[in-house]
Amino acid sequence: MSVLDIKLDRSFDVFDSDRDGRLVKSDVIGLSDRLAESHGLAPDALAGLRESLADLWDTVFQAMDRNDDGAVDRQEFRAAFRARIISDRNRIWERIRTMSNAWTELADRDRDGMLSRDEYTSLLHGMFRLPRETFDEAFDRLDLDGDGQLSRDEISSAMKEYYTSENHSAPGNQFFGRL
């Protein structure tokens, strides 16, 4: 299995909130509800993130459903994501950047436009329910300029690298923790 397949499988697992092996729209949009709950926010405070996740489903994930059963399984996800990266690179990155900017805005409690280690950890733990310690090493690898903060560009770059790089040592591979 390639490095990219390992990362795509991890990404699938992160989005599959009910762990049933199928992605449906409520799995993807539900990430915003989990974040709201973990941060003590009203769900309407996450309208921008909710909209970007719905758009991601409508324009990217839904098209992955090759057998029209209303859900995306792991194989459909992996194959379609690889094809989409090649054929629709600019539009998919625009949507991912919109989503990552919405995440950053919500997690940026001190409103400095950057994510501290705690803000980053709280964000990913809250949305994806992954252990907090998973993100300490990840934060260090993603903080490319070593300033103790993650900028929007560092986050966006890490996400892009996560979904495209076959290089096992690429820093962006750490976005959801160590592979």
Domain boundaries, the chain: 3-170
Secondary structure (3-state) at 102: helix
Q: How far apart are the first and last CA of the chain?
A: 13
Amino acid at residue number 166: E
Instruction: Give the residue with greater pLDDT, 165 vs 78.
Output: 78
Spacing of C-alpha 39 from chain mean position: 18
DSSP states along 139-152: HHHH-TT-SSSEEH
Secondary structure (3-state) at 176: coil
Domain 3-170 CATH (choose: 1.10.10.10, 3.40.50.300, 1.10.238.10, 3.40.50.720): 1.10.238.10
Beta bridge partners of 23: 72
pTM of the model: 0.80
Q: Is the pLDDT of residue 25 over 90?
A: yes
| pLDDT per residue as tens digits for the range 151-171 | 988 988 888 888 888 888 899
Average pLDDT value for residue range 19-47: 84
The total number of residues shown for the chain amounts to 179
Q: Identify which of 34, 35, 87, 33 has the alpha carbon closest to the alpha carbon of residue 60.
A: 87
